[in-house]
Structure 1
Amino acid sequence: MSAKRQESPRLQAGEYVKSRVYPTPEQTITCFILCQSVTSLFLPIFIVRIDERSGNIYILAGEETGILITRDGKWRYEE
């Protein structure tokens, strides 16, 4: 007896998955400034993601540069 695998709903053109957590105004400004600074160094940005549990934004740039932006807009490098 095999368990049936539930398929996730497919998105139609123009639809997107709604996140429950949105960035704060402070995070938005900090994220924009950091992304501009990173690309000025000619580093590619691979991921910009908000953690739905903590509300923090994570940016992965270049080979191994990780940046974490907290809800108050403060940021730090992640290892």
Structure 2
Amino acid sequence: MYNYEEKLNDLKRRLEYAKNKRIKAETRLEQLQIQKRELMNEIKKLGFEPDNLEQEIKNLESEIMNLINEAESLMPKDI
């Protein structure tokens, strides 16, 4: 004979597990959204626009390379 009570208990247990996972995921999402807002505000405080960060990084990399090249050109050649 089929055990309905056992099956129902199993379904309840699995449902409770899924609810707990959802709550944990929602909590984590909230934490990450708060962290994102804080990081965006920090980036703005530093004088950068979050949407332009990739271009800013490229500009800084280019500036670094230019300064390295300039420093190398100023070094004596006979060393």
* TM-score by shorter chain over 0.5: no
**Whose strand fraction is larger, Structure 1's or Structure 2's?**
1
Structure label with greater radius of gyration: 2
Q: Please, what TM-score do these two structures have when normalized by structure 2?
A: 0.32
Q: Please, what TM-score do these two structures have when normalized by structure 1?
A: 0.32
Larger RCO (CA within 8 A; separation ≥ 6):
1
